[in-house]
Amino acid sequence: MFSEAQPFTGVIALDGPAGTGKSTVAQRLAARLGAQYLDTGAMYRAATVAVLRAGADPADPAAVLETVAASRIEVSLDPQRQRTLLDGQDVSTAIRGAETTAAVSAVSAVPEVRERLVAQQRELIGRGPTVAEGRDIGSVVWPQAELKVYLTAREEVRAQRRAGQLGQQDLAGIAESMRRRDAFDSGRAASPLRRPDGAVEVDTSDLGIDDVVTVLADLARQAMPVSAAHRD
């Protein structure tokens, strides 16, 4: 497919709600293509950790913005060695906690927070070939991506996957929580969750991770002319 002589040179924007396999697929796809991997969700989660640790109210936009503006958020771009730092401290575990998950939608809905982080995300993507995943990559962060993909899955499948990630058995509760977050993220004024214009929709309900990666790698090959140009 892509080789050292003819490397992958573009940007793949991978969007979709939780439980569609987005993060795992994006990491494996980036590794397969020799591209950098950007998890924008980790950045919003790190911002949420900052807000919670500061004792700020996630529902207070002014307090949220003040806290995030004073924080330094860094993410690894290596798909095989992921790490998220907040003011130099590794928060890779903290960003996945239940408290963070419950507050991240409110924090990420603050328009000024999104503006700051989107600017940072664009700078990171601009460094070289990238597989970027999130909820507004193809619509806001990098709408000029050579390939835009929107991942979906049936609700019960998404709930089962999420339960596996969290080590929980309450599928009904998890499904309800995911519905609330989807509704919140889809209805927010700033960068709502939606299928980007021109995106290819891929339903992952009945596909394994490797199958989805293969589908997306094939789409990348079709979408992007192979070039001899590559990163230094």
pLDDT tens digit sequence for 71-117: 999 999 999 999 999 999 999 999 999 899 999 999 999 999 999 99
d(CA 82, CA 67): 24
pLDDT tens digit sequence for 110-136: 999 999 999 999 999 999 999 999 999
User: 């980036």: which residue's tokens?
Assistant: 30
pTM for the predicted model, two decimal places = 0.85
Residue 218 burial by Cβ neighbours in a 10 Å radius (0-12, 13-18, 19+): exposed
Token pair for 50 = 């900052």
For the chain, list the domains and their CATH numbers: 11-222 (3.40.50.300)
